[in-house]
Amino acid sequence: AQSVTQLDSQVPVFEEAPVELRCNYSSSVSVYLFWYVQYPNQGLQLLLKYLSGSTLVESINGFEAEFNKSQTSFHLRKPSVHISDTAEYFCAVSETSFQKLVFGTGTRLLVSP
């Protein structure tokens, strides 16, 4: 069975500062990795995903995540955050053959001016 750990429940940062949201997973089989974002009063939407190939994946709004197989991690980073990035971020994992997503407990990113 897979599991996902997001150690930080809340990360406060100032606008234009860099941020890293940590995600570690455990699985005995090959997996795909996802980051979903939930803006206030909305459902989740996909931010980025790792399927194969380059271990560094990017989103259209400046976030990136790096798949590290040896450390079983998929940390999310952004070099300079905006107020509008305030949201809850969920890391998730699925088996390659089966579409059941297992989510972490989420990290609330709070960006202040």
Burial class (CB in 10 A: 0-12, 13-18, 19+), 40: exposed
User: Using the rule CB under 8 A, is 90 a contact of another protein?
Assistant: yes
The dihedral sign for the CA sequence 11, 24, 93, 59: positive
Of 13-21, 41-49, 53-61, 67-75: span binding another protein (CB under 8 A) = 41-49
Measure the CA–CA gap between 29 and 16, rounded to whole angstroms.
Answer: 38
Which residue from 46, 55, 56, 68 is in contact with another protein, where contact means CB under 8 A? 46
Q: Please, which of residues 8-27 interact with another protein by CB under 8 A?
A: 9
User: Using the rule CB under 8 A, is 28 a contact of another protein?
Assistant: no
The tokens of 59 are what? 């989103």
User: Using the rule CB under 8 A, is 96 a contact of another protein?
Assistant: yes
Which residue from 51, 68, 83, 112 is in contact with another protein, where contact means CB under 8 A? 51
Where on the chain is the footprint of another protein (CB under 8 A)? 6, 9, 31-32, 34, 36, 41-46, 49, 51, 90, 94-101, 103-106
